[in-house]
Structure 1
Amino acid sequence: MKVRTVLRDVAPEELGVTDSHDHLFFKTAVLPGQELDDEDAALAEVRAFAEVGGQAIVQWTPYGLGRRAAILPKISAETGIHLVASTGLHRAEHYPDGVVEAVRLRLAEVFVQELTEGIGDTGVKAGLIKVAGGFHRLEEHARTVMSAAAEAHHATGAPIAIHHELGTAADAVLDLLVDELNVPPANVILGHLNRFPDHGFHLELAARGSFLAFDGPSRANHATDPRLFDCLGALVDAGYADRLLLGGDTTTARARFTADGPGIPFLLTGLRPRLIRHFGEDFATSVFVANPARAFATAWRT
């Protein structure tokens, strides 16, 4: 079992304290003027995370959204932070006209290539497939992309992480990926569940064996901080502490720590102390160290 980082494959126990969902570089048509494309700002953000004890960041930026893959090894080497890059495809509205159409018929091929040979001509291998569902349903685009992700998973062993629109349709994703396409549930990471704070729904998802990611702390436009601890508490009480992941999901320039936003370090400076007070040190170790080590590690087949 290995975690595929931008520098090399590492043993799961090497990953350490992990931000399980974030973005160093991200450029989308739905957030004009808030692109994450500044190399110096990204480097400063990662250094700030390292200074407060962070050791790994999983970047969920997929194909075509400004990943800046060639820069990631330099940032990793200079900061000592393990970085995991992503392949995959987001919802169609995130892309300029023509981008999705150009790759739609060869998505699985693109995903496998980026996981095994490298992103473009950078030689930087992705360690994760990131895809996206729709609001309360999986439209044709989502089903097509997820089917390609499942094919790429079966070829490589790569884990699959899902953006759930406002935290919805995670059950439909498991119906497709796990029940229909035979992806093991332990290789599926369900993201943004904090945006749909339905405890019963979360418990149903956890019972199906996937990892549950709660990401985007301090996003004022989502039901994140005010209900996060209630959501986590319900899952902990039901015995699912070993399925939980936490991430910052920094997607805009103004959200960076270096721009006076919460940024990536907030996970450890603001959130972790509260988690320890509410749930104990062992829980914090689980969500920041033990669980990511299992969620992002796989027996790579190529």
Structure 2
Amino acid sequence: MAVQSSFDPQAFRTALGTFTTGVTIITTQAEDGSPIGITANSFNSVSLNPPLVLWSLAKSARSLPVFSAGSHWNVHVLSTEQEPLSGRFAMQGENKFAEIELDNGISPAPLLQDCTARFQCRTAFQYEGGDHVIFVGEVLAFDHSDRAPLAFQSGQYALATRKPRSELRLATTPPPPECSYTEDLLGYLLGRVHYQLLDALHRLLSNQQLDEHAFFILSVLCIRDNLTLDEINHFVSYTGHVVSVASMRFLEKQNLVALEGSQQAPRYVLTATGREASLQQVALAKAVEENVSARLAPGDAQALKVLLKRLIAASDPGLPDLWAPR
């Protein structure tokens, strides 16, 4: 690790940014009754007995006189769903509280809803700390939920997921030293969870007298109807399946798809029966996802989706965007 020999303020700021924090909104009420709120990540605990917390505000901040004069303020630890709210309260010159429902607190300070945690505080001390003012507050009331907290790291929002206390192993017996195929292979992990999640879907497809091949075709047409055979193949190419005329004729006989256009340029659309079958499949897939997500820690499913999207983008050979407008 290189040590800075000269003190560079920007490098210092970058180094501080490597410390991952939560994201909070601090609110208070001005003397004229107007609500005031700012986004801050300088929040920290101070003491359990008495219950004290602190945060800091730049001396250049427009809201500093209001917070300095006020006796009460509330700290809201934001959840991952509240990232837009964080952005709103980080901006200046807009009505930040427009169309926001508030709870009644023990003080006039605005109390936001749906947070990971909230601390209602009375100003206990104020200290100057360089170019900031440090506010220490006595916690008069607090509450918290199981919502996953929003994180901030190196100037960007981040997602937090809990690390198991001990290493999670799927197999009780470790592989022999000469075996290079282990459960830590990404392909194995992705493949195993893929088939485990699709188990219930395969049973539904069997009841519908369909297979995974038909599922991909119906899914594509449910999202983007009126496609040629080449276009359908274009969209399902990532699965390794090749859709043939015979495949489409089978679905036609099942009254799941219909042929439109001329014989020279045929296009396929879902029938009402086909759309209903596809929606049943999607509903089941969502139910399976919700069931699995409920077994994970708060925020794990969202973090997993972000990582999978990054992995797909990193390994994408240039497949078409199924949801892109025509």
Tell me which interval the TM-score lies in, with the shorter structure as reference length: under 0.3
| Structure ranking higher in helix proportion | 1
Larger Rg over CA atoms: 2
Structure with higher RCO (Cα < 8 A, 6+ apart)? 1
| TM-score, normalisation: structure 2 | 0.19
| Structure ranking higher in strand proportion | 2
